[in-house]
Structure 1
Amino acid sequence: MVRKEFGRYSAADLQALTQQLRSVESGLAELRGFMTSLPGGFAERLTPPFFWATFYKVPFLDLVAWQLKLLSLESKFSELAQASDPHVAILSQLEEFEPKGEPEDAKYILGIAMALRGNLRSMCFYSKSLEELTKEVEKGNDRAFFDAILIDRTILTCPPFADRMALAEYQGDEGFFQEASKRLRQGAPTKKMKPYAPLRVCLYVLEQENCLASLTEKRAYELFCQELKLYPDDVEGDASRSLKRLIQRWQSDRAT
Structure 2
Amino acid sequence: MNETHYANGITAQNLRAILELWEQMVPEIEETMQTIIEINDKLFDKESDSFGWCHLYELPVKDHINFNFPVLLQQDQMVAWRKQITESPGKIIALPDVAKQVDDHFETRDSLTEEEIEALRPFLHDYCAYFYSIQYSLLCLLYHGCFLNELIDRVRSGNDEALFDAIRIDPTIIGCQTVSDRISKARRLRDDVFLDKLRKTQSGVTAKLKQANFQQMRLILRILSEAGATRLSNDQLYRLFVEELKLYTANSAGGGVEKSLRKFANTYMKQYATT
- Shorter chain as denominator, the TM-score bin is 0.7 to 0.9
SS at match of 1:41: helix
In the other structure, the counterpart of 1:94 is 99
1:194 counterpart letter in structure 2: Q
CA deviation digits over 1:14-36, x for unaligned, max 9? 34433332234312222224424
When Rg is computed on C-alpha atoms for both structures, the one with the higher figure is 2
Aligned Cα root-mean-square deviation (Å): 4.0
Report how far residue 43 of structure 1 moved.
4.8
CA contact (8 A) 2:145 2:218 kept: yes
In structure 1, list runs of 5 or more residues that go unmatched.
none
In the other structure, the counterpart of 2:151 is 133
Report how far residue 221 of structure 1 moved.
4.6
Q: How is 1:19-38 mapped onto 2 (pairs within 5 angstroms)?
A: 19-36=20-37, 38=39
CA gap 1:82/1:128 in 2 versus in 1, 3 angstroms: closer
CA contact (8 A) 2:56 2:64 kept: yes
In the other structure, the counterpart of 1:147 is 165
CA deviation digits over 1:184-208, x for unaligned, max 9? 3x23436452332222211122234
How far apart are the structure 2 equivalents of 1:251 and 1:232? 13
1:10 counterpart letter in structure 2: I
In the other structure, the counterpart of 1:51 is 52
Report how far residue 49 of structure 1 moved.
6.7
How far apart are the structure 1 equivalents of 2:241 and 2:56? 30
Q: How is 1:173-252 mapped onto 2 (pairs within 5 angstroms)?
A: 173-184=191-202, 186-189=203-206, 191-196=208-213, 197-213=215-231, 215-224=232-241, 229=245, 231=247, 244-252=258-266
Report how far residue 233 of structure 1 moved.
7.5
CA contact (8 A) 1:150 1:189 kept: no
TM-score where L is the length of structure 1 = 0.72
- The number of residue pairs the alignment matches comes to 247
CA contact (8 A) 2:57 2:176 kept: yes
2:133 counterpart letter in structure 1: A
Q: Does 1:112 align with 2:102?
A: no
1:97 counterpart letter in structure 2: V
How far apart are the structure 2 equivalents of 1:112 and 1:25? 16
CA gap 1:216/1:174 in 2 versus in 1, 3 angstroms: closer
CA gap 1:187/1:222 in 2 versus in 1, 3 angstroms: closer
Report how far residue 230 of structure 1 moved.
5.1
How far apart are the structure 2 equivalents of 1:115 and 1:191? 23
Report how far residue 158 of structure 1 moved.
1.8
Q: Percent identity?
A: 18
1:52 counterpart letter in structure 2: W
SS at match of 2:73: coil
CA contact (8 A) 2:57 2:152 kept: yes
In structure 2, list runs of 5 or more residues that go unmatched.
107-111, 271-275
Q: Does 1:161 align with 2:166?
A: no
In the other structure, the counterpart of 2:86 is 85
TM-score where L is the length of structure 2 = 0.68
Report how far residue 178 of structure 1 moved.
3.5
CA contact (8 A) 1:127 1:250 kept: no
How far apart are the structure 1 equivalents of 2:176 and 2:165? 14
CA contact (8 A) 2:69 2:127 kept: no
